[in-house]
Amino acid sequence: MKAMNRRSIWNLRRKPRTWFSLGFLFCVGLLLAAAYFQFGSGLEPCPLCITQRLLVFAVGLLSLAAILHNPGEAGVRIYAVVGFLLAAAGAFVSGRHVWLQHLPQAEVPACGPGLEYMLQHFPLSDTLRAMLTGTGDCAKVDWTLFGLSMPAWVLIAFCALGLLNLAQWWNAKSV
């Protein structure tokens, strides 16, 4: 029994495609949860939430590309580095969101118009700045689980995705 468990773990370690599949499924789950909260529970996403969704989508799309491509050692490492960088960018945006939520009320930036309005009437640079730095809408906490807000959970998810991609660097040797 012990030998069987070691062999099973060893086989998973040697298959980056399996781990990229897990990352892809994790991203799909995150996006489905976001859709449920928006359309099922009526929580409207702020600009930082939308940016985080786009980065989750990017990590998932990269994982899907790695699954379909099934690269060799060098390719796995390239996918791992790019996936890690995307997850790190997502963690940065999520961290900024958590930081905004913990600011004193007097220091919270002013609320801005909705993203759809900004895309139609503001220059693209102003819209991108709002999506990356946040507005007063981003400081509002609408939902918590175990005392952590949604952006805090997304920060944890990005850290997990970053570690999963980083682990592929060492896993690439066994391709």
Q: How far is Cα 140 from Cα 49, in angstroms, rounded to an integer?
A: 12
pLDDT at position 138 over 80: no
Architecture of domain 2-174: Up-down Bundle (1.20)
At 34, list the tokens: 């976001």
47 band by pLDDT with thresholds 50, 70 and 90: confident
DSSP 144: E
| Mean per-residue pLDDT over the chain, rounded | 84
Q: How far is Cα 49 from Cα 44, in angstroms, rounded to an integer?
A: 9
The pLDDT score that the predictor gives to residue 39 is 93
| 18, 12 Cβ separation under 8 angstroms | yes
CB atoms within 10 A of CB 94: 26
| 66, 79 Cβ separation under 8 angstroms | yes
Q: How far is Cα 44 from Cα 36, in angstroms, rounded to an integer?
A: 11
86-132 tens-digit pLDDT: 999 999 999 988 988 887 877 766 666 666 777 787 788 877 777 76
Whether pTM exceeds 0.75: yes
10 band by pLDDT with thresholds 50, 70 and 90: very low
